[in-house]
Structure 1
Amino acid sequence: MIKSPLQIARESYSPKLPKALKGSVKIVEGKNTESVADQSDIQKLFPNTYGMPVLSFEAGDSSANNEVMNVGLILSGGQAPGGHNVISGIYDGLKKLNPANKVYGFLGGPGGLVDNKYMELTDDIVDHYRNTGGFDIIGSGRTKLEEEAQFDKGLENCKALGINALVIIGGDDSNTNACVLAEYYKQKNAGVQVIGCPKTIDGDLKNEMIETSFGFDTACKVYSELIGNIQRDANSAKKYWHFIKLMGRSASHIALECALQTQPNVTIISEEVEANNMTLDQVVEYIANIVAKRAANGENFGTVLIPEGLVEFIPAMKKLISELNDLLAHHEEEVNAFESNKEKREFVVTKLSPEMAEVFKSLPNTFANQLMLDRDPHGNVQVSMIETEKLLIDMVKAKLKKMKKAGLYAGKFSAQGHFFGYEGRCASPSNFDADYCYSLGYTASVLIAEGKTGYMASVRNLTASADEWIAGGVPVTMMMNMERRHGAMKPVIQKALVLLDGAPFKALADNREDWAINTKYVYPGPIQYFGPTEVCDLPTKTLIEESK
């Protein structure tokens, strides 16, 4: 493989670790925990892993198991910058405990565990991937582990390799699967531990013990660089409005973080739209009014940031999508049997409630068609396939036309649509993510050595220097609640939404009127890997605001 100069230079980067992980580690147990909601239901489903204490690590005498251990790794779900450093942290931690320990990577995600597709990770392999983006070391996948037959087959394959523990590196749904697997193996006294690591660029896997998921920092910096480039172009040409959709199906953390980094004219926050019970037309009117105000100042250009999950937060659309999810779960074959989208739409209308049927019929056909696309493996609409940015451009254009006729708008409106998603998922991790991910992996190795299962690796105090970070473990059941999936109630990790009374959103709210009318763009530029720590090791604006 031919390597770029940056790849070669990054191979020599040594990730920073919390001081508690640099020597012998002592485990400190906190109070016993309970789930964030639906306590009795979650406890019944997870009797063997519910209520465990939060763990923190300190320097001190270790009670860790130094006998030979074999560990299996799984990368699950979408890619996020830093996954390779999680693996290198696990690998180094286990080899430090005992050089005879072996690490196996199951190929292509959770399906590799069931299909027994794996490779042993060695120094030569791991060293090649240190501080690099992507998940290509072993590949990822979205196979759901939810059937006992899968659990049993995975256990059989683990036993054949002498594997004592599995680490599942994934988001909220993947770590929910990890918790289910941990419970099943504990119940059977199978002798296989299961540990999770918090991954998702969306930033919606967070709580008091998980301050941020890995990859969020890098992805937001990549998107912010691109937004800054577009804003500089807009401010140069002075003739285009750029509507930029950003990843974030279930929460608006990416849009909020990128707004704080770049100061665009309009930032739509899905959670705010829902809280204010806004209609799609009201969202359009809000944008159009800002376009008109800027035009009155002679500025017929600007930027609009849009979370990809916006349509699911507009109350009427949310209700429609919920009905569609259930409908398509129960009538999938019938819908797919129709050859034309027109026939599919007509069939769907007959199965919706009268109120939602009217909403569905009122949508543009192209948009209605996108709402009927195949669901993801978790039964959710694939919002990345819905061209919300183009829908809003068309609706704003129509609104401005009416405003012009009424004498309320006198400018010119030309718009460009963008979607930033895959551009950020496999970027070379920032120093923050390189350090954070390596620490998470190292933490997972300690949890394994201490015989823990049903825990997620946790590293906190992230706005301090890495030396002062606090490593430990949090029971996955602590994060869980019951939600409707595929038409049935299932235990899942509760998604963390943008808090409208939180410091990051308030920072946006305090400045949005100024940024809307005045051109106060910030151009972050590319991620810096070499140079002063205040430039290279800076965490997200979100973490900085939350720590104030």
Structure 2
Amino acid sequence: MEISPLQKERLKYQPKLPGMLKNGISDICVREGEATQSVADQEKIRSLFPNTYGKKEITFQKGANTSAPKKQVVGVILSGGQAPGGHNVISGLYDALKATNRENVLLGFKGGPSGLVDDDCVEFDDAFIDAYRNTGGFDIIGSGRTKIETPEQFKAATETAKKHGLTAVVIIGGDDSNTNAAVLAEYFAANHVGVQVIGCPKTIDGDLKNDDIECSFGFDTATKTYSELIGNIERDANSAKKYWHFVKVMGRSASHVALECALETQPNVCLIGEEVAEKKMSLSQIADQIADSVEARSKTEGNFGVVIIPEGIVEFVPEFGTLIREISEMLAGSKTEEFNALPDWAAKKEFIRKGLTAESYKVFDILPEAIQKQLFLERDPHGNVQVSLIESEKLFAELVKNKLDERKKAGTYKGSFKTQFHFFGYEGRCAFPSNFDADYCYSLGYNAFMLIQYGFNGYLSKVSNLSRPADEWVAGGMPITKMMNIERRNGEDKPVIRKALVELDGKPFKYFEAHRAEWAVKTCYTYPGAIQYYGPSDVCDLTTRTLALEKG
């Protein structure tokens, strides 16, 4: 297979490790911290995880290695959506395994957790791993979203483990995947299967973070990729001076990606879902905020600008959430068939008017017709509206246009409003990892083996002090149950890892809040450019603005 010149060079890159792990694991010992408890619902979580709950946080440090030597047969699984750096987690895990004992084995289970259930795996060797070092994507073994949760799945996973003599499984994934890792760890412990389970924190959305996990891998690369594209659009907008560009970025449940891209590129407007929810902003208020920027800039800078919108923004709008709930109730049971049998959109809209409260119909009525229809045509397998499919960038552009038309009639606005639309999602999920993600992921994988070697189960591989040079990074682990709470999912109480939302009193948002009024009116664009892999460290090894601001 022919590869690009960049890939040839990236294959040679040697990722940096935390200083304590640089010389292998022979002189690494464990320092125990305090016993842990879950972030909420302690008694419920404890009852669900009696064998893995309440364990101590640990860090690795220099000292005599007291782990019991034994041959390790480890399985690794890529779970959930792709994120840059996943291949390096596997590379780091493989290198640590082989550095300890060449007889150690690493098996890659294909297609996500279903590979463990179906016994679909491949054994890695040097040549296999070497072809994927420092590359983006999850194509080394593929990924999947299967949850191991039924008695039949647990039994099949156990049989696979016994067949291959597995001593441990490493699950590389986000909050749902690592929740599943905790459940699997508890099952193996309760049933004396003898297999440890270790998780690694992955998601480009940036919402798998807390006091222990400073950032999930892939966030750095994805936001740098999106920021390069947004910077290019800003440069084009400032050159042509005739379009307002509405840019939607990934982030359904949290706005970390949008905020980071705004800090990197200084657009005229960036919506933060958590602020919208906190202030109980309406669709009309949000449209007015954008229209204010359009009007002000038309008088000084020109009829152009850039707006960043997080993918899940409408879910944060209280009145829209109420509308969605009412629609779901309205179409419960046989009502969906009754609605679909109506002859045309006019008849369907009358059905909707009668089925909604006056407040919700008022919200519905201001939506563009295409969005109105989308709310009824696109349903998930459970019959719910698929909010993530709503083209919110077009929705807000249409609402802004309506606001500006009103202002033109009032004589306060004389500009023009032409729009362009962009959605950046898949473009960032499989990019060549930045040096930060290449190093961080390799360290997470290497560190995961340390946790295995010392016998830990139900732990997340943890590398912290990430705003400092890699030499100063600190490796260790934390019980996955520490991050968990109980949430209502599909009508049932489920233990899940709590998603981290943008903190409105945090330094990254406060910096954004302090500068956005100026950005809204003036052209303050910054152009990050492409990710740099070679050159000065202060260019190539930069972490995100979010992490830099959080850690000072």
Q: Which runs of 5+ in 2 are unaligned?
A: none
Distance in 1 (CA, whole Å) between partners of 2:309 and 2:502 is 14
Residue matched to 1:490: 494
Three-state SS of the structure 2 residue aligned to 1:296 is helix
> Which amino acid is the alignment partner of residue 136 of structure 1?
D
Three-state SS of the structure 1 residue aligned to 2:106 is strand
After superposition, the Cα gap between the structure-2 partners of 1:383 and 1:337, relative to the gap in structure 1 and judged at 3 Å, is closer
Residue matched to 1:225: 228
Three-state SS of the structure 1 residue aligned to 2:518 is helix
Residue matched to 1:428: 432
Residue 272 (structure 2) pairs with residue 253 (structure 1): no
Residue matched to 1:17: 17
Say which of 292, 295, 305 aligns to 1:292: 295
Residue matched to 1:2: 2
Distance in 2 (CA, whole Å) between partners of 1:325 and 1:72 is 42
Residue matched to 2:519: 515
Residue matched to 2:400: 396
1:30-45 mapped onto 2 (5 Å cutoff)? 30-45=33-48
Residue matched to 2:147: 144
Q: Displacement of 1:155 after TM fit?
A: 1.1
Indicate if the aligned counterparts of 2:339 and 2:351 stay in contact, CA closer than 8 A. no
Q: TM-score, normalised by structure 2?
A: 0.94
Residue matched to 2:537: 533
Distance in 1 (CA, whole Å) between partners of 2:351 and 2:447 is 52
After superposition, the Cα gap between the structure-2 partners of 1:255 and 1:41, relative to the gap in structure 1 and judged at 3 Å, is same
Say which of 447, 451, 463 aligns to 2:451: 447
After superposition, the Cα gap between the structure-2 partners of 1:331 and 1:355, relative to the gap in structure 1 and judged at 3 Å, is farther
1:84-99 mapped onto 2 (5 Å cutoff)? 84-99=87-102
- Superposed CA RMSD in Å reads 2.4
Three-state SS of the structure 2 residue aligned to 1:163 is coil
Distance in 1 (CA, whole Å) between partners of 2:361 and 2:492 is 22
Say which of 468, 482, 486 aligns to 1:478: 482
Distance in 2 (CA, whole Å) between partners of 1:354 and 1:115 is 52
Cα deviation digits, residues 249-304 of structure 1 (max 9, x gap) = 11110111011111110011100011101001110011001100000114110000
Distance in 2 (CA, whole Å) between partners of 1:149 and 1:349 is 46
Distance in 2 (CA, whole Å) between partners of 1:174 and 1:243 is 32
Distance in 2 (CA, whole Å) between partners of 1:19 and 1:325 is 54
Q: Which runs of 5+ in 1 are unaligned?
A: none
Residue 317 (structure 2) pairs with residue 317 (structure 1): no
Cα deviation digits, residues 133-191 of structure 1 (max 9, x gap) = 00000001111222121111111111111111111100001111111111111111111
Q: Displacement of 1:489 after TM fit?
A: 1.8
Cα deviation digits, residues 211-248 of structure 1 (max 9, x gap) = 00000000000000000000000000000000000000
Indicate if the aligned counterparts of 2:79 and 2:172 stay in contact, CA closer than 8 A. yes
Indicate if the aligned counterparts of 2:301 and 2:523 stay in contact, CA closer than 8 A. no
Distance in 1 (CA, whole Å) between partners of 2:358 and 2:152 is 41
Say which of 197, 200, 203 aligns to 1:194: 197
Residue 139 (structure 2) pairs with residue 122 (structure 1): no
Indicate if the aligned counterparts of 1:42 and 1:481 stay in contact, CA closer than 8 A. yes
After superposition, the Cα gap between the structure-2 partners of 1:6 and 1:333, relative to the gap in structure 1 and judged at 3 Å, is farther
Say which of 285, 302, 318 aligns to 1:282: 285
> Which amino acid is the alignment partner of residue 375 of structure 1?
D
Residue matched to 2:72: 69
Say which of 374, 380, 391 aligns to 1:375: 380
1:46-61 mapped onto 2 (5 Å cutoff)? 46-61=49-64
Residue matched to 2:186: 183
Q: Which stretch of structure 1 is more off in the superposition, 380-389 or 224-233? A: 380-389
Cα deviation digits, residues 454-503 of structure 1 (max 9, x gap) = 11111000011101101111111110111121122211100000000000
Aligned-residue identity in percent: 58
* Pairs aligned (count): 546
Indicate if the aligned counterparts of 2:444 and 2:461 stay in contact, CA closer than 8 A. yes
Indicate if the aligned counterparts of 1:249 and 1:383 stay in contact, CA closer than 8 A. no
Distance in 2 (CA, whole Å) between partners of 1:48 and 1:381 is 38
After superposition, the Cα gap between the structure-2 partners of 1:318 and 1:511, relative to the gap in structure 1 and judged at 3 Å, is same
Indicate if the aligned counterparts of 2:368 and 2:398 stay in contact, CA closer than 8 A. no
After superposition, the Cα gap between the structure-2 partners of 1:64 and 1:115, relative to the gap in structure 1 and judged at 3 Å, is same
Q: Displacement of 1:371 after TM fit?
A: 3.8
Distance in 1 (CA, whole Å) between partners of 2:279 and 2:106 is 50
Distance in 1 (CA, whole Å) between partners of 2:144 and 2:349 is 31
Cα deviation digits, residues 352-381 of structure 1 (max 9, x gap) = 78865775566444324434534389x986
Indicate if the aligned counterparts of 1:81 and 1:429 stay in contact, CA closer than 8 A. yes
Residue matched to 1:505: 509
Q: Displacement of 1:199 after TM fit?
A: 0.3
Indicate if the aligned counterparts of 1:20 and 1:58 stay in contact, CA closer than 8 A. yes
> Which amino acid is the alignment partner of residue 8 of structure 2?
I
